[in-house]
A and B are shown apart, each in its own frame.
Chain A
Amino acid sequence: MLLIACPNCGPRAQAEFTFERPLASIVTPTETLPDLIHKLFTRENPRGPSWELWRHTYGCAGWLKVHRDTHNHQISAVVPVDMETPS
């Protein structure tokens, strides 16, 4: 089980969080149909570092951007959703 460092609450067990989706697959309200189809049905499944959207559902309920390596589960950054992702 992952240990996720919530910027509001500190390190907490994965069981308190909900995985939402990769950041790259967020469908905006103004998305074109081809982009929407790509994001929903033919999206990437990267092996390696990936930015993801999580929610600290059973904590502060905040939405978080999590930089997680899908191969080894190392988490290198967790930031609130309204902050720019460090490149």
Chain B
Amino acid sequence: MSGPMRLADGGLIDRSRPVSFVFDGKTYQGFAGDSLASALLANGVVLFGRSFKYHRPRGVMAAGIEEPSALVQAGSGGRYEPNSRATDVFIYEGLQSQSQNRWPSLGFDLGGLNSLISPFIPAGFYYKTFFGGPKLWLLYEHLIRQMAGLGMPPTKADADVYEHRAAFCDVLVVGSGPAGLAAALSASAAGSRVILAEQDERIGGSLLTDPATIDGLASDLWIAKARETLIAAGGRILTRTTAAGYYDHDLVNLVERLTEPGQTPGPDGLAQRLWRVRAGKVILATGAFERPRLFEGNDLPGVMLSGAVRTYLRRYGVRAGSRAVITTDNDDAYRTALALAEAGASIAAVLDSRPADGDRSALVQKAVAQLPVHFGAKLIAAKGSAKGLKAASALIGGKVTALDCDLIAVSGGFSPVVHLHMQAGGTLAWDELSGSFSPDLTRQNQTTVGAAAGADGLSATLLSGWTKASDKAKAKAAPTCAAEDDVALNIIADWEPAPQASLKKAFVDYQNDVTAADLDLAWREGYRSVEHLKRYTTLGMATDQGKTSNLVGLARLAKSEGRPVPSVGLTTFRPPYTPVTLGVLAAEATGAHLDPRRRPVLYNIHAAEQPIWQPVGYWHRPRAYPMGAENLHQAALRESLTVRTKVGVTDVSTLGKFDVSGPDAAIFLELICATTVGKLAVGRGRYTIMLREDGMVMDDGTVWRTEENRFLLTSSTGGADRMAAHLSYVRKVLAPELKVAVANVQEHWAAVAVAGPLAKDVVAAVLPQMAVPRHMSLDRGALAGVPTLTLAASYSGERAFEIYAPSDQIAPVWAAIAQAARDLGGCLYGLEALEILRIEKGHIVVGGEIDGRASPHDLGLSKMLRPAGGYIGHTALQRPAFAESGRLQMIGLEAVDGSAIPEGSMLLTAPKTLPVGHVTAAGLNVIKGGSIALGFLRDGFSRTDESLIAWSPTRNQTAKVKVTAPVFYDVAGVQYRD
């Protein structure tokens, strides 16, 4: 025995394997196979937590994943999970668990005072505080944030490993109760590949609570045989695996738990696995949830769902009380009453809301003969405290009657679990008598069987699973059960609380503390649509997503409206079905595995220089090459100055590069490029911009005519993939008639840029047999036996060259150029110097000035546009808006007060006015010193010399600036020419 409430024998626990665990600092013992809830109940624990809003004492209500109240946080450090349902955690040696929402301790909770002030926290409290003005909200917010909330978030990085796995099957069966097993057997017999997913740690579903005789076998043997049959036929059975989401085209996500919350994984290190199963057909055998009923104090510890009481008794060998009241509107709860009596509990009363004059099943007749059963009777109130139930009052034969009890087993009927059916786009049909929605139409290859489809009784459940799983299944071959195990509900759904019950303590949503009185109030205040009611009261918005509460709430709204339940409507069922850890969704895609890291071909050679690295898109490129104790800024400034005065060498291998060839190559490029291309002579190149079809600049680069019908087009590093897709789109979709081939040669060519007044000398030194090409010309050569292509183009504003070579042969080319530059007093430079130099020249970049909102006119590039038009974006540039005043136009800025212009600042005409522009890039004047920037300003072209304020509220920095042209170095443009 482990604990006072444990029965001497029985249950599916392993009494030879005791397990110790900790709850709220105290060590308890349970057995292997116990859930945390069953193990605590066995130890006589009734108080599991405090409620969300009022801090009312709460026990455990259910035995499965629908549990709304008994939430715990399990584990510690990097293995920790808040808001776990105690009913859905199986204990293991050393489990550390804690109750939630209590302060300073579970037994003595200061927040419980909220219960006393609950009249002042009505439905829609949050919304109402907003109407009191911001000050009132600020006052409440502090209090609310302290008191409300679920478990604490983890404070350490997740220590666990997760993985994704894809799977395919003919038939996926969700749920392994009698319907699911019958369905899986049927599909398997018809030759289908089957995956069976069960969220519990063992298969069997309701048979684990209500053993039966099926096909002449005791159900535990029938289950074992079913397992063998399925596996022998090649089927896969996944236990502890929840179907969390049903997506389009029959894709179902299964979350498999390989460890319990907080548990250290086994040797393979995996905690959870996400299965993405694409199924030919999906069979949902997800069962039904029992519903609570409305009475005063229906949330107190000791009030439990009837089926849960029976599950604790039969599966876990735990008797949850010694003197019980049962309240029901159906026959199922009679099984609980009889089972409790058989286990030695006394039954104070069975309160059946159905009328006394109906036909009675054999089960009910048996109970009537042994137990105090009252028809037409209702529970009014449960009375008790954090220590458990003391008493109850009931309406029996029209009289208020006091009952002595420590357990109340509640059955308000059953709601089919239709979540996955609804996620799959299905519709529902309402049955008034049972008060339940069950699946109607389906959109995908999916069918629902068993209790989830409204099947009543074990025989109908087995038949439903067997026949619906396969077209070939014959009804007469379906598994059958013994007659005494075939218990029908005979339900007459009853939503009405006893008139004597105070609805202010009759809870509908236990997890979010929503009472029937709250729903009535919201309705009176005009929240009559179910979607409004949900948001106003928070009904069904907790982590349990209203599994036990939604229908009770709907019925309450329907009554207020005087309409039938289905006309009130339902809120949307969204994945996940039960909470899913973010870890398993991310799986391997965390940290360095989140994105691929692309290394330029010269990566290792750069690494030898120990540069500061910078990610550019997926690429890792040197940002600067510090010497000695230099920091980033010092190194970049030295490198910039060397380029301006001598020569620098940098790696530009990651630029987008496209080889465009064919008789129509020039025509094709004149669609892509907004500049002149066709008139380029062979051996010449020019700067170009590419527009989107809406007229905005998409990217910039250079275009070179290498042969009569062959061009090399370059684009930005970060925009290379987009440019590749754009070129493909234009070629295949817009202009398939053109005779042109486009090859993405981004990684075929590596390239080294040489820039500075001495760049020409470096080129002459390394390529002595080739005449140094003139600006915007190209020539071929060979360096260390490697064929090269030298393009004379400048980005820095100095005379500059880009020397291309095949990627796999670039190392000696780089080495020779770097050495030649060093011999002349030059150095290597990185992206930071590149940025400083291009800002000084006012050259635009993708992601800076090319931000998707700027037209060529806004960037001051109107003169470059091909006058004849015909390029993509030309028509859109005729939109009148592009000619209107007030457009943001690119300008330069100079600090006039000696301060640095803050990155990302906004431009103001005076303090505390609305911004009239913004800074896109801040840099400095390399030779003269002083802070400069590029940016956009409304009507900026005509505002030169105007004084503005550059203000960054996030950096809390300000600079006084003067508007200039966006070029600060070599304004006449002579430095880079021959």
Contacts and interface: CB of A to CB of B under 8 A. Distances in A.
B725 interface: yes
Interface string B732-770: 111110000000000000000000000000000000000
B822 to A, nearest CB: 43
A61 interface: yes
Given A27-B693, A61-B728, A73 B733 contact: no
B733 A2 contact: no
Contacts of A1: 247-249, 251
A23 B879 CA distance: 23
Interface in A26-72: 26-29, 31-33, 36-37, 40, 53, 55, 57, 61-63, 72
Count chain B CB atoms within 10 A of each CB in A29, A37, A73 and give the residue with the most.
Answer: A29
Contacts of A79: none
A81 interface: yes
B903 interface: no
A29 B248 contact: no
B694 interface: yes
Of B247, B693, B725, chain A has the most CB atoms within 10 Å of the CB of: B693
Interface string B694-708: 100000000000000
A46 to B, nearest CB: 18
A20 interface: yes
B728 A36 contact: no
Nearest to A4: B249
Interface stretch (B221-229, B782-790, B868-876): B868-876
Given A26-B733, A26-B734, A37-B879, 9 more contacts: A1-B251, A29-B735, A32-B875, A33-B875, A33-B878, A36-B876, A61-B728, A81-B733, A82-B732
A36 B725 contact: no
A61 B742 CA distance: 14
Nearest to B253: A1
B734 A55 contact: no
A53 to B, nearest CB: 7
A40 B876 contact: yes
A39 to B, nearest CB: 9
B876 A2 contact: no
Contacts of B728: 55, 61, 63
B875 A31 contact: yes
A27 B878 CA distance: 15
Nearest to A65: B733
A73 B248 contact: yes
Task: Specify which of B249, B725, B732, B736 lies most central, judged by the most chain A CB atoms within 10 Å of its CB.
Answer: B249
A24 interface: no
A8 B878 CA distance: 40
A36 B729 contact: no
Contacts of A28: 734
A60 to B, nearest CB: 12
Contacts of B249: 1-3, 73
B295 to A, nearest CB: 43
- What are the 10 closest A-B residue pairs judged by CB atoms, nearest first? A3-B249, A73-B248, A27-B693, A63-B732, A1-B251, A36-B875, A2-B248, A33-B878, A2-B249, A1-B247
Contacts of B251: 1, 3, 13
B501 interface: no
Nearest to B870: A29
B425 A72 contact: yes
A72 B872 CA distance: 35
Contacts of A37: 879
A29 B872 contact: yes
Chain A contact patch, size range: 20 to 34
Contacts of A61: 728
Interface string A1-21: 111000000000100001010
B849 to A, nearest CB: 23
Contacts of A33: 875-876, 878-879
Contacts of A32: 875
B621 to A, nearest CB: 25
Nearest to A32: B875
B419 interface: no
A55 B693 contact: no
B877 to A, nearest CB: 10
Interface in A70-84: 72-73, 81-82
B278 interface: yes
Contacts of B735: 29
B443 interface: yes
Interface string B269-307: 000000000100000000000000000000000000000
Contacts of B671: 29
A29 B870 CA distance: 7
Contact of B725 (A26, A55, A62, A82): A55
A37 B875 CA distance: 10
B732 A81 contact: yes
Contacts of B247: 1
A29 B732 contact: no
A53 B733 contact: yes
A29 B734 contact: yes
A63 B872 CA distance: 19
A82 B735 CA distance: 11
A66 to B, nearest CB: 13
B879 A20 contact: no
B674 to A, nearest CB: 13
A50 B250 CA distance: 21
11 contacts: A3-B250, A3-B251, A29-B735, A29-B872, A33-B879, A40-B693, A61-B728, A62-B732, A63-B729, A72-B425, A82-B732
A52 to B, nearest CB: 12
Contacts of B879: 33, 37
B730 to A, nearest CB: 9
A63 B879 CA distance: 30
A24 to B, nearest CB: 13
Nearest to A31: B875
A63 to B, nearest CB: 5
Contacts of B729: 20, 55, 63
A40 to B, nearest CB: 6
Contacts of B870: 29
A82 B733 CA distance: 8
Contacts of B693: 27, 36, 40
Interface in B217-265: 247-251
A57 B724 CA distance: 11
A11 B733 CA distance: 23
Contacts of B878: 33
A13 B278 CA distance: 9
Contacts of B876: 33, 36, 40
Contacts of A3: 248-251, 278
A28 to B, nearest CB: 6
A83 B226 CA distance: 51
A33 B879 CA distance: 7
A13 B164 CA distance: 15
Interface string B425-447: 10000000000000000010000
A33 B443 CA distance: 42
A62 to B, nearest CB: 8
A37 B729 CA distance: 20
Interface string B665-702: 00000010000000000000000000001100000000
B733 to A, nearest CB: 6
Nearest to A73: B248
A67 B248 CA distance: 16
Nearest to B878: A33
B736 A82 contact: yes
Contacts of A13: 251, 278
Nearest to A40: B694
Interface string B657-671: 000000000000001
Interface in B864-898: 870, 872, 875-876, 878-879
B21 to A, nearest CB: 39
Give the one of B425, B875, B879 with max A CB within 10 A.
Answer: B875
A44 to B, nearest CB: 18
B745 to A, nearest CB: 16
Pick the most buried of B728, B729, B733, B876: most chain A CB atoms within 10 A of its CB: B733
